[in-house]
Amino acid sequence: MNIRQQGVDKAHLLNNDFITSRDYKRIAATGVNIANLLEEGAYVQRGEKTLAVDNFVDALEWLINESKRGRYIQRYKGLGEMNPDQLW
């Protein structure tokens, strides 16, 4: 499984020990609960805006995008990305 974090891809191996662990069973059970959380006619609302949704992922994505609206997210260079003149 590959995960991208802060623009860097990292490969993770999900072995049999993890798949058969108690932690994984809890994660899977949570996924089932979330999948069945929304009923027909469900919607999310932020301020005056609403969106009809039929799954949790769509609701979460919409809320995250709405929270970013009107904001500028700036990324700063890390020390490893700077040349010696910039560090000085």
Cβ-in-10-Å burial (0-12, 13-18, 19+) of 62 comes to middle
What percent of the chain has a predicted confidence (pLDDT) above 70? 95
Residue 31 maps to a domain: yes
Per-residue confidence band for 1, with pLDDT thresholds at 50, 70 and 90: confident
Residue 79 maps to a domain: no
Domain assignment of residue 35, given as a range: 2-71
- Is the torsion defined by CA of 51, 53, 58, 61 positive or negative? positive
Report yes or no on whether pTM surpasses 0.75: no
Residue 34 maps to a domain: yes
pLDDT in tens, 42-74: 999 988 999 999 888 888 899 999 988 888 777
